[in-house]
A and B are shown apart, each in its own frame.
Chain A
Amino acid sequence: MNRMRYLRIGIAAAILVAVFACAIAHVSIGTLCALCPVGFAEIVVASGSLPWELLPGVVAVLAVVFLLGRVFCSWVCPTSLLKNVFGGKTPRGLTGRSGSCAGCGLGADPNEGRIRNSLAAQGIVLVVLLVVSFIVHFPVFCLLCPIGLVFGTLFAVSRMFVTWQPGWELIVFPAILVLELFVLRRWCSAICPLGFFFGLAAKARSRVGFLPGVRVRAASCKHAEGCDVCTATCPENICAATATARDMEDCTLCFDCREHCPSSAITMKPDFATSKAKRSVDCSDDRDH
């Protein structure tokens, strides 16, 4: 059960452990902040200089999102790690979590009522924080970023082993994290400015169309008979059977749907015929109202 979830927890946790181990072994791989597109943009506006050495990492992350999809969100991001460990996504999962799905029901298209990732909201957040960073001359979002707070807590612990003086951040950082992830549940889909960059990369990706992604074998899919397992398991509530290209932009390739699909109808194969039929430009008709 939930093999994929445990695998995701394992990989994201391994990254945290690796970063912590590197702090002890003095290998300077840095935290994920060394790959952050938002951090890059903030430094540019806050300092008026271009941090060239950040660029390769940032471009690499965006290239990975373009080629593989938003894998960062479900497999790497410490935020998802916390959500996977402690729950906290509204309608999610067959077991353990609520297990219900808002738009489900025979004859209904779950994707119609789905709350989508809001590139517009994330974009507004990004613009505001760049303006604010420009005014106050420091990267503001780094103080609030849940990824930074997870690593901040980690490094506060490693600092404690050197100075033997615990800091307030050991309490304050986790408290802010709880607020962001478990109270503001729309953090990832509507606030996270990193999601704006990933959303753009995913948009570009969906225009190419043939890149690997979650696809459904129409022959074995039981959606027409009322099966909504993929929607119920999907963290983004995507119904794989009826998903348009716009819906698949929100897919983080967590593979929960693939694991739970009762008829094994979900594949990763680049299927030109299906992708062609599924491509559409309904992005203008943003149903997130």
Chain B
Amino acid sequence: MGATASGPDARANVTMDAAERIATDAKADAAVDTVEGIAADMKALSHPSRRQFCIAGGAAIVLAGTAALGQMTHQQADAVYVRPPGAESEASLLAKCDRCERCVQACPYDLVQPRPLSFDIPTVGTPEIVYKAGFCDFCMECVRVCPTGALSWDAPTVSDIGTAKVIKDACVAWAWEGCRVCVDVCPVEGALTLDERGRPQVNETLCNGCGLCELECPAPSLRAYDAAAAEKGIYVVSRESAAAAQPGALTTEQFETGRFVRAEGGLR
């Protein structure tokens, strides 16, 4: 609290000030809502003071810096992720998504998750599919609630979010025969079959990336832990990824190096 000064002088000043203020206000009042009033506002907007300019300039430099850094890491990473149905392409999703997380909230199976902060900075918070708690039954809740058009009904991915890839050195059936869990759970007729040696093989044109095989794969519980091999014997990857571009089953190394990397000449 201020108000340390007192005495008749100060009080007289107050009255003077008040009188002046009322007079100026009354004068100014006449100009209210006139063109000059609005023009004055616009003038104040277009001629900021030096201090305002410094603040805004500083903030703008930081913004531009973040954007440049983001753009750089994004190009460098050139990554692809398994996105929810309706994502047209990485570029279109990134341009339209404002990370409102409505799709994340809408997904009844906790599949759609915000991307964590990674080297690919601009993708943080955008939706990706994580088959940890469920699989996609294409209920389309995420597409229905998306307010920005980042997930749209027109995109080819509304019925196809990726393709499953068998990992040779992690799949139990590749080592010993007998395991057919993924083939049994696969909801798409003919997408997963057993070859003549009892190993699962993916028909990549039929597979829609629902992820039930990845979710149910029992490899982690059937094998001893091996840091060199992938955890599960089958994973869903983006169709634009380098992993998807290689035919047939993959080694753990092929899978891990190509999972989130865009295939040569892939769609941007």
Whether the pair A26, B106 counts as a contact (CB closer than 8 A) is yes
Interface string of B3-46 (1 = CB under 8 A from A): 11110001101110110011011101101110011001101111
In whole angstroms, how far apart are the Cα atoms of A171 and B228 in the complex?
Answer: 29
In whole angstroms, how far apart are the Cα atoms of A280 and B6 in the complex?
Answer: 30
30 contacts between A and B (CB under 8 A): A26-B107, A28-B105, A28-B141, A31-B99, A33-B98, A33-B99, A34-B98, A43-B148, A53-B147, A57-B147, A104-B1, A105-B2, A106-B2, A106-B5, A119-B45, A120-B44, A124-B60, A128-B63, A143-B121, A167-B116, A168-B117, A226-B5, A232-B1, A279-B32, A281-B28, A281-B32, A281-B40, A282-B24, A283-B40, A284-B40
Closest A residue to B128 using CB positions: A159
User: If the complex has contacts A148-B125, A224-B18, are A190 and B55 also in contact, measured as CB distance less than 8 A?
Assistant: yes
Whether the pair B55, A280 counts as a contact (CB closer than 8 A) is no
Chain B contacts for A28, CB-based, 8 A: 102-103, 105-106, 141, 145
CB distance from B87 to the nearest CB of A (A): 13
Closest A residue to B92 using CB positions: A47
**Considering residues B22, B67, B103, which has the most beta carbons from chain A within 10 angstroms of its beta carbon?**
B67
Cβ-neighbour of A280 out of B25, B99, B102, B106 (below 8 A): B25
Chain A contacts for B102, CB-based, 8 A: 28-30, 34
Whether the pair A30, B147 counts as a contact (CB closer than 8 A) is yes
Closest A residue to B95 using CB positions: A47
The yes or no answer to B110 lying at the interface (CB within 8 A) is yes
Whether the pair B101, A155 counts as a contact (CB closer than 8 A) is yes
The yes or no answer to B206 lying at the interface (CB within 8 A) is no
Of the listed stretches A9-17, A129-137, A264-272, name the one at the interface; the rest are far from the partner chain. Answer: A129-137
The yes or no answer to A23 lying at the interface (CB within 8 A) is yes
Whether the pair B63, A144 counts as a contact (CB closer than 8 A) is yes
Interface string of B148-177 (1 = CB under 8 A from A): 110000000000000000000000000000
Grouping DSSP codes into helix (H, G, I), strand (E, B) and loop, the B interface class, with mixed when no group exceeds half, is helix
In whole angstroms, how far apart are the Cα atoms of A280 and B70 in the complex?
Answer: 45
Whether the pair A107, B17 counts as a contact (CB closer than 8 A) is yes
Whether the pair A277, B117 counts as a contact (CB closer than 8 A) is no
Chain A contacts for B45, CB-based, 8 A: 119-120, 123
The yes or no answer to B221 lying at the interface (CB within 8 A) is no
The yes or no answer to B132 lying at the interface (CB within 8 A) is yes
Cβ-neighbour of B29 out of A143, A152, A224, A279 (below 8 A): A279
Whether the pair B25, A277 counts as a contact (CB closer than 8 A) is yes
In whole angstroms, how far apart are the Cα atoms of A242 and B19 in the complex?
Answer: 12
Grouping DSSP codes into helix (H, G, I), strand (E, B) and loop, the A interface class, with mixed when no group exceeds half, is helix
User: If the complex has contacts A23-B105, A207-B33, are A186 and B55 also in contact, measured as CB distance less than 8 A?
Assistant: yes
Chain A contacts for B212, CB-based, 8 A: none
Cβ-neighbour of A143 out of B15, B70, B105, B118 (below 8 A): B70
Whether the pair B3, A226 counts as a contact (CB closer than 8 A) is yes
In whole angstroms, how far apart are the Cα atoms of A142 and B96 in the complex?
Answer: 11
Closest A residue to B34 using CB positions: A281
Interface string of B102-145 (1 = CB under 8 A from A): 11111110100110111001101100001011000000010001
Interface size class on chain B is 35 or more
The yes or no answer to A172 lying at the interface (CB within 8 A) is yes
The yes or no answer to B48 lying at the interface (CB within 8 A) is yes
The yes or no answer to A278 lying at the interface (CB within 8 A) is yes
Whether the pair B104, A124 counts as a contact (CB closer than 8 A) is no
The yes or no answer to B49 lying at the interface (CB within 8 A) is yes
The yes or no answer to B64 lying at the interface (CB within 8 A) is yes
The yes or no answer to A140 lying at the interface (CB within 8 A) is yes
3 nearest A-B residue pairs (beta carbon): A104-B2, A226-B3, A167-B116
With A53-B148, A121-B48 known, 15 other A-B pairs at CB within 8 A are: A31-B100, A36-B100, A39-B100, A52-B149, A104-B3, A107-B11, A120-B47, A139-B95, A142-B125, A148-B99, A155-B104, A228-B3, A284-B40, A284-B41, A286-B44
Interface string of A35-67 (1 = CB under 8 A from B): 010011011001101011110010000000000
The yes or no answer to B188 lying at the interface (CB within 8 A) is no
Whether the pair A27, B105 counts as a contact (CB closer than 8 A) is yes
CB distance from B125 to the nearest CB of A (A): 5
CB distance from A227 to the nearest CB of B (A): 7
In whole angstroms, how far apart are the Cα atoms of A53 and B144 in the complex?
Answer: 11
Whether the pair B28, A286 counts as a contact (CB closer than 8 A) is no
The yes or no answer to B94 lying at the interface (CB within 8 A) is yes
Chain A contacts for B41, CB-based, 8 A: 203, 283-284
Interface string of B77-101 (1 = CB under 8 A from A): 0000000000000011011111111
CB distance from A234 to the nearest CB of B (A): 13
The yes or no answer to B53 lying at the interface (CB within 8 A) is yes
The yes or no answer to B56 lying at the interface (CB within 8 A) is yes
CB distance from A72 to the nearest CB of B (A): 16
Cβ-neighbour of A136 out of B48, B71, B99 (below 8 A): B71
Closest B residue to A222 using CB positions: B3
